[in-house]
Amino acid sequence: MKTTYFDIETGPLPDEELNQILPPFDPAEVKMGNLKDPEKRAAKLAEAETNYFADARDKAALSATTGKVLAIGLESTNGETNCLAHESEWDILNQFWIRFHINSDRFIGFNIFGFDLPFLIRRSWKLGVPVSNIRQGRYWNERFLDLRDLWQLGDRQAKGSLDAICRHFGLAGKNGNGKDFARLFELNQKEALKYLVNDLRMTREVHEIMVGGVA
């Protein structure tokens, strides 16, 4: 069976959309202690409100309700790499599902059962992108292989990020921080996509070690 390695990168929804989704800031949640001065209390509330929305935006990319798909990286068995990133989110999702359905490749990623696939499906539902035959009852389609699931060997408490596992195997790890992807993507898509391509390389090399390149 041929193999397609994949990884997704996400970012926060636009501020105007995000602000409509987030629960309103609750001043009652701010602990004032013994602070009595009205101006200082007002300043603390203003700072807390600013931090509330800043923190929410920082975490927005981790949820399909507050984030969106910025890019999907794909690498085939023959080493051909393709980044779906320059179209609308609808088009990116649609192209990914089309690729899944038009061939019989094994789709391999890291933590795809815990993050990538749920995120892709929920965003597809939101945007009306056709998606089917991804779940088989309680289980994922057998064409998907999650290397994190394989690494755990049935122990759900077993830890290990893709970067840590790469270094454990003596492989080169991350070339950046995923938290910075959305910001870098806005400034320089070409540089941002180098991070995504490196994640594909890491996924492929870990797979080759763990199962000898045979899914």
- Backbone region of residue 79 per phi and psi (left: phi > 0; alpha: psi in -120 to 50; beta: other values): left
Strands 139-140 and 81-84: unpaired
Give the model confidence (pLDDT) of 115-160 as tens digits.
999 999 999 999 999 998 899 889 999 999 999 999 999 998 898 9
Residue 78 CB-density burial (10 A; 0-12 exposed, 13-18 middle, 19+ buried) = exposed
Give the model confidence (pLDDT) of 12-42 as tens digits.
999 999 988 888 888 887 887 877 777 788 8
Q: How confident is the model at residue 214 (pLDDT cuts 50, 70, 90)?
A: low
**pLDDT in the model for residue 165:** 96
Report phi then psi at 81, rounded to 5.
-110, 140
In this structure, what token pair is assigned to residue 118? 């749920």
Q: How confident is the model at residue 8 (pLDDT cuts 50, 70, 90)?
A: very high
Which three-class secondary structure string do you get for 30-94? CCCCCCCCHHHHHHHHHHHHHHHHHHHHHHHHHCCCCEEEEEEEEEECCCCEEEECCCCHHHHHH
Asked if 10 contacts 69 with a C-beta cutoff of 8 angstroms, the reply is: yes
Give the model confidence (pLDDT) of 184-212 as tens digits.
999 999 999 999 999 999 999 999 999 87
Strands 67-76 and 106-109: unpaired
Amino acid at 209: I
Domains of the chain: 3-14+62-211 (3.30.420.10)
The residues with which 71 forms a beta bridge, in sequence order, are 9
Q: What is the pTM of this model?
A: 0.89
Give residues with Cβ within 8 angstroms of 172, minimum separation 6: 166, 202
| Separation of alpha carbons 134 and 131, rounded Å | 7
Asked if 93 contacts 124 with a C-beta cutoff of 8 angstroms, the reply is: yes
Report phi then psi at 111, rounded to 5.
60, 35
